[in-house]
Structure 1
């Protein structure tokens, strides 16, 4: 499951969502946020089942983030 950079959400909003929705520890959430900001995309999680990845992407989208699932 990938998270894409956008011009709408602030760094604290992205970090909060990664911590709250994805269960990432605060330090890892900050690292992922910085990766998304610098590289424009980051791999947040991998799943054996596509459905689980899609569920997480939808949860992040509800926070206003741009998340996608690779095909």
Structure 2
């Protein structure tokens, strides 16, 4: 299953570095999230939803992490 941030970044033609800068984290953090190694915190999820204009929702992220462990 592809991470919703990875899908959003591809559709909006953004690098990890560019997207990370918009929400105030590092490229390494984005990489960990997309690999399923770490999860964004609540405040970070709120920024993700705002920056993506709702294209990535908290439910999208929840579904990714929930399904990832199955």
**TM-score tier after normalising by the smaller chain length:** 0.3 to 0.5
The alignment's TM-score, normalised by the length of structure 2, stands at 0.42
Q: Which has the higher contact order (CA 8 A, sep 6+)?
A: 1
Instruction: Name the one with the larger strand percent.
Output: 1
Instruction: Name the one with the larger helix percent.
Output: 2
